[in-house]
Amino acid sequence: MVTLAAYQRHLLQFGQAGSPNTVTVLSALRQLLQLGLNFSLSFAIAIGLKIICNPFPHYLRSVHVPQLRRSAVRNLGHVISFWCMAADQKTGLVEAEDVKRFQTGEWTKPVDARRKSRLPGKRDIVPFWRGGPILVAPHSWFLRKLFGVHVYEAKMLADQAVYDPESQKTHHDKVEVDAFTALAIEEQDHDIKYRTLSWQKATLLLFGEYVCLAILALAWSWSVLGWVCGFFITFGLGIITWYTSYILWQFCMKHPEAKDICDIAAILFPAVPRIAFELTGLMLLLNNIFLIGFHVFTGAKIFNTLSDSAVCTVVFQAVTAIIGVIVSLPRTLNHVSIMSVVSAIAMAIAIILSMVYAGIEDHPLYGYGGNYPELGEVKTSIGLPGAPGFVAGTNAVLNITFLWIGQILYPSFIVEMKRPQDFPKALASLTGLQLILFSVTAAVGYYYNGQYSTAPIIGSLSEPWAKKSAFAFVLIPTVIIGTIYGNVAAKFIFKRILGNSRHAHSHSLVGWGTWIAIDIFIWTVAFVLGNIIPSMGDFLGIMSAAFDSFFGFIFWAVAYYHLNKNGLWANWKMTTMSIINIIIFVLGLFMLGPGLYTSVDAIVTDYAGSVKKPFSCASNAL
């Protein structure tokens, strides 16, 4: 049996269908066209291949690959053609995996697959200066009609098995599919499949993200704002969040190539796509790591409360971070969805216990203004309770905003759904559940604790056993919600490091080693943040102002503009929606400016008081 060298196996890709050892002008031409080159260059290379491979005077003979000898000219030609056809259309760089395939002579099939479509999400058109077509659509039509070559197609096709009852045989037909279905089909042969979520699972996963300890801070926000303002701000932010999330989904459906919030930013700001991508990536990482830091901080608070501060607070924070690293090891959201259900159940129990205990106790223990009964008997207010001040009032609104804004994760969920078209079902179900949960929890907590409400409301409970039994259930969602945000942040870094290499979707040592290293890095940074920022309210305020202003408001007003820029003022309905989106944009700017100021001012005020210093053993128990 003849053993072929890499350059010979390279040429086998240009061989005839029934006899790959033999390369003709036509077989080489067809393969070059499938690789995305224009007809003129493909024909010239096919002729040149014959001249280079067959010595004078045998130019007209077919090339018999096993008989070829190594040649410096052939090697140079292979390298140049490889770069022209395999390099990324934007950066001009070649993937490491493609280089490895080139070294073994088997690189053309993956490149063929990238050239099949010209639709978003599959687009990889060779630029003209590297040998690609000038006019893509006519080029595609011409090759399909004349050579039967499918390249840069305007439709996405997939194989469908059709059974003929008369002949009792099965044949395969090409059927048109949408971009998301084509992407799902593409990963069928991968070891790790990401597009596995149903809309029901997506709802549970998202709801698990929202059923968190921050819900128990709502009573404090309502104690600052009063019944009317508290309810209408909670309800109003819910409607705005639903609407902006729907705009997000519409944008993702129009741009299936957008796999996360960073891809969306690059499309939203086409004048500076790279800068928008990188800055959004930085905000994504900071937002998620701040959230994980918040859960590290909360984990230590829970352990201190349950153990009566048995060991140093820093030790408890380290324990929480180590647990988070272990739980974050799964690489797909499909596994996390199961944990999300457990998280939601545990947090629901904690919320119910907190409300029940607040109702059966004679009085709360304390509030931020003093211990009971220094502020008088428990009372609530229909309107604003006194003059809360700009800083306190803004922070109360930011706390409510933080609970609603989760759009930073939605693109990652949409891209992992089996049918992204069903996301509005998940969104509607989620919003309804949130409105009920947030309103009831805030109302009950505020009614029974009034001006003594704290964040979280568990801190206002007077009996130690009540605090411990309610707070114990918060430990599970503290770790799991941190895991959800850690998963999204880790995937972003993972993608930047490994790109589309096989390690990104295979159980390889490099893939898992990289994933675990990223996981440890994220939770280590979160551990540091959990020691630096002094209180739960400070965490929520600064995250809302710095990140939710973009991810909850500004981005989606800009997305609305891109989706409707040709008809913004076409009729009264479009005019109304355009005005609403301008208001949403302005709200985002307000959160970013004055909102960030009040958040930083609150942290400065806390450190000027009696809060514990960074990396202190002082207890942060309730």
Name all domains of the chain by residue range, CATH numbers in brackets: 6-147 (no CATH), 196-608 (1.20.1740)
At residue 356, the 3 state secondary structure works out as helix
Q: Which residue has the tokens 């993608």?
A: 495
SS3 content of the chain, % helix, strand, coil (to 5): 65, 5, 30
Return the closest-CA partner of residue 114 out of 90, 82, 88, 91: 88
| pLDDT-based confidence at residue 134 (cuts at 50, 70, 90) | confident
**Per-residue model confidence as pLDDT tens digits over 386-421:** 777 887 888 888 889 888 988 887 887 888 888 888
Pick from 10-14, 46-50, 242-246, 265-269: least confident = 10-14
**Per-residue model confidence as pLDDT tens digits over 272-286:** 888 998 898 888 888
DSSP letter for each residue of 542-577 = HHIIIIIIIIIIIHHHHHHHHHHTTSTTSSHHHHHH
**Per-residue model confidence as pLDDT tens digits over 77-130:** 666 767 766 776 656 677 767 777 776 666 677 776 666 655 554 456 777 777
The residue ranking higher by pLDDT, 541 or 312, is 312
Structure confidence at residue 237 (pLDDT)? 94
The C-alpha atoms of residue 257 and residue 231 are separated, in whole angstroms, by 39
Structure confidence at residue 235 (pLDDT)? 95
Structure confidence at residue 28 (pLDDT)? 78
Strand ranges (E), 292-440: 366-367, 370-371
Q: What is the pLDDT of the chain when averaged over all its residues?
A: 80
The C-alpha atoms of residue 206 and residue 144 are separated, in whole angstroms, by 44
Structure confidence at residue 194 (pLDDT)? 59
| pLDDT-based confidence at residue 73 (cuts at 50, 70, 90) | low
**Per-residue model confidence as pLDDT tens digits over 85-98:** 677 665 667 776 77
Residue 358 confidence (pLDDT) above 70: yes
Strand ranges (E), 346-488: 366-367, 370-371
Residue 558 confidence (pLDDT) above 50: yes
Peptide bond into 594 cis (omega under 30): no
Query: With contact defined as beta carbons under 8 Å apart, do 395 and 600 qualify?
Result: no
Structure confidence at residue 443 (pLDDT)? 94
**Per-residue model confidence as pLDDT tens digits over 194-247:** 567 888 888 887 887 788 888 998 999 999 999 999 999 999 999 999 999 999
**Per-residue model confidence as pLDDT tens digits over 174-185:** 555 555 555 555
**Per-residue model confidence as pLDDT tens digits over 138-169:** 777 777 777 777 777 655 555 544 445 555 55
pTM, full prediction: 0.68
Pick from 274-278, 434-438, 487-491: least confident = 487-491
Structure confidence at residue 173 (pLDDT)? 55
Residue 447 confidence (pLDDT) above 90: yes
Q: Which residue has the tokens 């003849």?
A: 2
Residue 543 confidence (pLDDT) above 60: yes
